Amino acid sequence: MPQMAPLNWLNLFFWFLIIFLMFNSINYFMIYYNIKKSKITKNKLNYNWKW
């Protein structure tokens, strides 16, 4: 029936929204990024070029 078509579109929109949010949350929270922080060590001597 044509009168029920808006409900079907609304249902499809809600399913799309739920799947979209679940997909984004899984990608954001379940992937662990290894961030390696390295200390900046300055081993070279800095000579002033003016002297």
pLDDT in tens, 1-26: 566 677 788 899 999 999 999 999 99
C-alpha R_g of the chain:
28
* pLDDT in the model for residue 43: 66
Question: Residue type for 34, please?
Answer: N
Tell whether the model's pLDDT for residue 37 goes beyond 80. Answer: no
Tell whether the model's pLDDT for residue 38 goes beyond 80. Answer: no
Residue that has been written with the tokens 């922080």 in this structure: 37
* pLDDT in the model for residue 33: 74
b/e map 17-29, b = 16+ CB within 10 Å:
eeeeeeeeeeeee
Tell whether the model's pLDDT for residue 41 goes beyond 70. Answer: no
DSSP-derived letter for residue 4 is G
In angstroms, how far is CA 3 from the centroid of its own chain?
A: 40
Q: Report pTM.
A: 0.52
Please give the Cα distance from 34 to 36 (Å, whole number).
6
